[in-house]
Amino acid sequence: MMYRIFGQNTDILVFVDTIPYIRNNAMSYDEVVHVEFENLDYKEVEILPYKACVVEEEDGYYTKRTYLVDYLGLSSGVLRIEILSHSNEFDSLVSAIVKEIQVKTIEEW
């Protein structure tokens, strides 16, 4: 699911999906993080009650952050949220997305 958010002095692109290879206990959350963020400098954060990891990349004007959230309510267990922006609204936006997903299941999007 991709969203484009426009606002005053803000142009934010958000991509939300799930990671398929954790289904049927094929991989743990930590193994998914290792595979997805291999050789990247990531940090651990907490998004609401969920464990998450984030990688930040910059191109001079825009910043891209990729979050992997250990969201056990999803069939895959891992929620990937990518945000491209030149503002600093990342963590609050990710929290809002996760709260929305708590209300709706992935199938209802």
pLDDT for 86 equals: 74
- Per-residue confidence band for 42, with pLDDT thresholds at 50, 70 and 90: very high
> 35: Cβ–Cβ under 8 A, 6 or more apart, which residues?
21, 27
pLDDT for 109 equals: 47
- Return the closest-CA partner of residue 95 out of 61, 77, 58, 69: 69
Q: CA dist 95 to 34, 42, 72, Å? A: 23, 18, 16
Residue 29 DSSP symbol: H
Instruction: Pick the more confident residue, 10 or 83.
Output: 83
pLDDT tens profile 56-91: 988 877 888 899 998 877 777 788 888 888 766 677
Q: Which helix (H) or strand (E) holds 64?
A: strand 63-70
Task: Decide if 18 contacts 32 (C-beta within 8 A).
Answer: no
- pLDDT value at 107 more than 60: no
Torsion of CA 55, 59, 62, 64, to 10 degrees: -20
Q: Is the whole model's pTM more than 0.85, yes or no?
A: no
